[in-house]
Structure 1
Amino acid sequence: MKIHYQVATPEVTKSPNVTSMQGDIYENIDKLKRYGYDGVELMVRDTDLIDQERIISYIKDKEMNISMICTGEVYGEDGLTLTSSKKEIRKEAIKRLKKLINFAEKCRANLNIGRVRGFYCEELLENETEEFAINSLRELCEYAENKGVSILMEPVTRLQTNFINSTKDGIEFCQKVKKDNFKLMLDIYHMNIEDPCILKSLKEARDYVKHVHFADNNRRILGNCGMDFKNILKTLKEIEYEGVISLEIFQIPNQDVAAKKSIEYLKTIMEE
């Protein structure tokens, strides 16, 4: 399994407790290459504001891959969701995500759907929210299909949204969307909060999981807080997972230490 790290593109605003490397993207790519990472996933807010070709070319020249285009700040900074009660916001969210799909195609990567899916709200009935999400995601999957891009839903803890929290929720939603290129990104940190058993959930999701996020219990450097990564890795091998392990962690005490120490720990246990 390849090891990747999350890196923000330049238009993503720096904020406290970020979970992606920020600052000069080219310097960050150089550092990750030196630390031993095989590639990156990119946190992108707006493709109109970045030099797409230069970023792709630079990463390729380092003999690294891009596995995922993450969309967290499409909601985090711009407030766009697929299930907003306001039609113009839903429309703008789809427009923005289609541009990100175009970028994912150039990167030969997939697209993550996290908080941009939205949440249950007082203005809409729950079935209306689900209908907006299903219809929008089907449209995005159809747009992405001929581009070789999969749309990956990430179940996220209820501390961040009240819509699709557990792995079970994610599997059931895949069955509702009914698109071959609609699968799951599973995040060990979120699973640890929402799922009764991470290992059992991984086995149940074996036909759906295409990307995995690693972070320790406190979302910091791997190996500092007791997450059972050895058995998680063993289970991933058992279900014949051949995708990427990508690190999405708080950049504490700083992003260089977080990235370097985490891959050192992960490589050590992978070799055991």
Structure 2
Amino acid sequence: MAREVGIGLIDEVGDDMDLFKNIIAEIKQMGFDYVEISPQDVGAIINARLNPDNTHKVREVLKFHNLKATVHAPDHLNLRNEKNFEVQKQVFKSCVDFAQVIDAHVLVYHIGRANPVDWVEWHEEPIRRKEIEALKELCDYAGSKGVQV
């Protein structure tokens, strides 16, 4: 069985697709098969919605270099954030859509955090349940797009 390895894209390139092309070329030249991309680092999500222009550019660069991708949800994505819960869910869906367009089959999401700490203990269980229910719904959405969370 052939083994494939990847590396995370750690530079925020925004709309600078020339910089993105150069980084991807270097990653491929180093011998990697995969790159992990966070959509916010390539300007693919704006105001919680997918930016189709940058998303398609990312896809074309990856295809040109024959490099596969996984997607890392933004670090600030937090399904325990009750103040803007619906926005958080929309960002998650946009990450799934980004993954689908660039043909990435894996989306990494780290469990959210609730703050402040002294408030968490009292509210922890309802917040956790809400996050789990949201994740079930969002994982169904992801599955329908061919993306595993």
Q: TM-score scaled by structure 2?
A: 0.77
| Displacement after TM superposition at 1:39 (Å) | 2.0
Q: Distance in 2 between matches of 1:11 and 1:96?
A: 17
Query: Greater relative contact order (Cα 8 A, min sep 6): structure 1 or 2?
Result: 2
| Displacement after TM superposition at 1:85 (Å) | 3.2
- For the pair shown, the structure with the greater C-alpha radius of gyration is 1
Q: Distance in 1 between matches of 2:144 and 2:52?
A: 25
The equivalent residue for 2:98 is 103
Moved over 3 A (4+): none
Query: Which amino acid in the other structure matches residue 4 of structure 1?
Result: G
Name stretches of at least 5 consecutive residues in structure 2 with no aligned partner. none
Name stretches of at least 5 consecutive residues in structure 1 with no aligned partner. 13-22, 152-272
Q: Distance in 2 between matches of 1:11 and 1:94?
A: 22
Q: For the structure 1 residues 49 and 24, does the alpha-carbon distance in structure 2 shift closer, same or farther, using more than 3 Å as the test? A: farther
Q: Distance in 2 between matches of 1:139 and 1:101?
A: 12
Query: Which amino acid in the other structure matches residue 43 of structure 1?
Result: S
The equivalent residue for 2:19 is 24
The equivalent residue for 1:201 is none
| Displacement after TM superposition at 1:118 (Å) | 2.4
1:69-108 equivalence runs, <5 A: 69-73=71-75, 75=76, 80-86=77-83, 89-108=84-103
Check whether the contact 2:36–2:71 (CA below 8 A) recurs between aligned residues.
yes
- Once the two structures are superposed, residues 34-57 of structure 1 have per-residue CA deviations (whole angstroms, 9 ceiling, x without a partner) of 111112110222242861111111
Check whether the contact 1:11–1:44 (CA below 8 A) recurs between aligned residues.
no
1:108-187 equivalence runs, <5 A: 108-109=103-104, 110-114=106-110, 117-119=112-114, 121=117, 122=119, 125-151=123-149
Query: Which amino acid in the other structure matches residue 55 of structure 2?
Result: Q
The equivalent residue for 1:57 is 60
Cα RMSD for the two superposed structures: 2.3
Q: For the structure 1 residues 52 and 111, does the alpha-carbon distance in structure 2 shift closer, same or farther, using more than 3 Å as the test? A: same
Q: Which has the higher helix share?
A: 2
Query: Which amino acid in the other structure matches residue 32 of structure 1?
Result: I
| Displacement after TM superposition at 1:112 (Å) | 1.0
SS at 2:97's partner residue? helix
Query: Which amino acid in the other structure matches residue 107 of structure 1?
Result: I
Percent identical across equivalent pairs? 20
- Once the two structures are superposed, residues 123-142 of structure 1 have per-residue CA deviations (whole angstroms, 9 ceiling, x without a partner) of 55221121121011011011
The equivalent residue for 1:34 is 29
Q: Distance in 1 between matches of 2:29 and 2:37?
A: 18
Check whether the contact 1:33–1:62 (CA below 8 A) recurs between aligned residues.
yes
Q: How many residues align?
A: 132
The equivalent residue for 1:3 is 5
| Displacement after TM superposition at 1:92 (Å) | 0.3
Check whether the contact 1:11–1:49 (CA below 8 A) recurs between aligned residues.
no
